[in-house]
């Protein structure tokens, strides 16, 4: 049977619910992708995220992973297509009027074409189906507006997973620790308490980890490949404009945590430069399924599970929007004046800021030769949805 490769047959134990009934028989393959919205790369630790810390200890932790953009819908489009924003066309969120065109192939469509069951369970409007991110998912669950509690999303995901007896792929998205930060009291206490934004953010990170723990345990028991990352980080008042992510091109927004675990996954820490565009490819290689079309401007995707330290020489990214109050000199305000940035594996940096100019390491400038500035979103924005989540009006 094509779907059950020899590698998976030997790797995945049959541990369908109830978990106590696990046997050594091989089970169907499964892939769990978790995205924790607004989770910073420096907030993965034994204290803040004990479940994810343990998962990383038994698998792979990539310390130099990056998103191409600090906006939810667009970053997830890159994760699921393997393409950079100029290629898939999303330079902002769905409430800004951007939507992934159905002509693009996604990870969910690729596994669904091979007979896998696919489920998407997300916790905020920008991660919802209105941005085209749910194409290829048989089951699609999202709040109709704003956000919903992580516990509700995870509960729906657990119920769906419990009903799967064949190959499956699931995407689970939490909107903790996206603002507003309002963790449960127990989670705030678990990270040392406090009454400022930094403490509440830490509490929401702990809350997401706590609520995801049982789902991760079940996926592990089923022998799944588990990938946990963020769509982007968050500025914690290190810059102008305080607490936000959509108006910055700095590493605190564009660098993300990344943990991969499961049968056949090498163990250890990796420091090579990798990106969200490598994840769909890595999952498809693991599952021995056909690849997605490669990115033309980002280069071929990396398989992160080879055992070597994977590394790109450069990573191209962009800010969400130009806000001259936050990025001095940028123009025009909005999507057309956003920063384009290249990070080098040797820590070099090159920035193009429309209206202001370019600066940094000129040797990195060639990376942006085919990286276009955005055009205006083609659909009507839903500014009320943006406001509900704390975004400035754009468009
Ligand atoms: Zn987000």
Beta-bridge mates of residue 174? 36
Mean pLDDT over each residue of the chain, to the nearest integer: 91
* Percent of the chain residues past pLDDT 70, beyond the cut: 92
pLDDT of residue 381: 76
- Give the distance (Å) from ligand 1 centre to CA of residue 4: 34
Contact 49, 177 (CB under 8 A): no
- Give the distance (Å) from ligand 1 centre to CA of residue 350: 24
Q: Distance between CA atoms of 144 and 29, rounded to whole angstroms?
A: 31
Is this model's pTM higher than 0.85 or not?
A: yes
The pLDDT tens digits of the residues spanning 147-163 come to: 999 999 999 999 999 99
Rounded average pLDDT over 211-219: 98
Domain boundaries, the chain: 29-312
Q: Distance between CA atoms of 298 and 134, rounded to whole angstroms?
A: 23
- Give the distance (Å) from ligand 1 centre to CA of residue 165: 32
Q: Distance between CA atoms of 192 and 196, rounded to whole angstroms?
A: 12
Contact 97, 103 (CB under 8 A): no
- Give the distance (Å) from ligand 1 centre to CA of residue 230: 8
- Give the distance (Å) from ligand 1 centre to CA of residue 122: 11
- Give the distance (Å) from ligand 1 centre to CA of residue 231: 5
Superfamily of domain 29-312 in the CATH hierarchy: Alkaline Phosphatase, subunit A (3.40.720.10)
* Percent of the chain residues past pLDDT 90, beyond the cut: 83
- Give the distance (Å) from ligand 1 centre to CA of residue 358: 27
Q: Distance between CA atoms of 341 and 2, rounded to whole angstroms?
A: 42
The pLDDT tens digits of the residues spanning 292-316 come to: 999 999 999 999 999 999 899 999 9
Phi, psi of 87 (to 5 degrees): -85, -45
- Give the distance (Å) from ligand 1 centre to CA of residue 171: 14
Does residue 10 register a pLDDT over 70?
no
- Give the distance (Å) from ligand 1 centre to CA of residue 71: 5
- Give the distance (Å) from ligand 1 centre to CA of residue 186: 24
Q: Distance between CA atoms of 367 and 369, rounded to whole angstroms?
A: 6
Please choose, from the candidates 72, 34, 32, the residue with its C-alpha nearest in 3D space to the C-alpha of residue 179: 72
- Give the distance (Å) from ligand 1 centre to CA of residue 235: 13
């Amino acid at each position: 049977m094509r779907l059950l490769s020899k590698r998976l047959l030997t790797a995945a134990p049959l541990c369908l619910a109830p978990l106590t009934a696990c046997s050594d028989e091989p089970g169907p393959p499964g892939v769990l992708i978790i995205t924790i919205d607004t989770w910073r790369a420096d907030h993965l630790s034994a204290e803040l995220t004990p479940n994810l810390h343990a998962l990383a200890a038994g698998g792979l932790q990539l310390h130099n992973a990056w998103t191409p953009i600090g906006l939810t819908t667009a970053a997830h489009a890159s994760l699921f297509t393997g393409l950079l924003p100029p290629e898939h066309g999303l330079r902002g969120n769905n409430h800004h009027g951007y939507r992934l065109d159905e002509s693009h192939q996604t990870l969910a469509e690729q596994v669904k074409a091979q007979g896998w069951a696919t489920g998407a369970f997300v916790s905020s409007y920008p991660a919802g189906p209105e941005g085209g991110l749910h194409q290829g998912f048989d089951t699609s669950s999202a709040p109709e507006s704003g956000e919903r509690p992580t516990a509700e999303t995870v509960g729906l995901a657990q119920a769906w997973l419990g009903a799967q007896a064949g190959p499956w792929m699931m995407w689970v998205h939490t909107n903790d620790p996206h603002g507003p930060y309002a963790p449960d009291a127990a989670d705030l206490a678990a990270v040392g308490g406090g009454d400022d934004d930094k403490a509440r953010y830490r509490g929401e990170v702990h809350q997401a980890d706590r609520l995801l723990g049982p789902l991760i345990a079940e996926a592990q028991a089923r022998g799944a490949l588990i990938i946990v990352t963020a769509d982007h980080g968050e500025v914690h008042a290190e810059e102008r404009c305080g607490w936000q992510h959509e108006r910055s091109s700095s590493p605190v927004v564009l660098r993300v945590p990344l943990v991969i675990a499961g049968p056949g996954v090498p163990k250890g820490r990796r420091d090579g430069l990798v990106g969200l565009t490598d994840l769909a490819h890595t999952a498809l290689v693991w599952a021995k399924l056909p690849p997605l079309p490669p990115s033309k401007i980002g280069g071929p995707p990396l398989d992160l599970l080879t055992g070597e330290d994977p590394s790109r020489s450069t990573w191209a990214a962009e800010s969400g929007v130009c806000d001259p109050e936050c990025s001095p000199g940028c123009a025009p305000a909005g999507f057309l004046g956003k920063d384009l940035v290249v990070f080098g594996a040797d820590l070099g940096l090159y920035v193009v800021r429309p209206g202001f100019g370019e600066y940094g390491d000129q040797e990195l400038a060639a990376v942006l030769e085919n990286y276009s500035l955005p055009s205006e979103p083609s659909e009507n924005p839903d500014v009320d949805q943006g406001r509900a989540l704390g975004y400035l009006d754009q468009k």
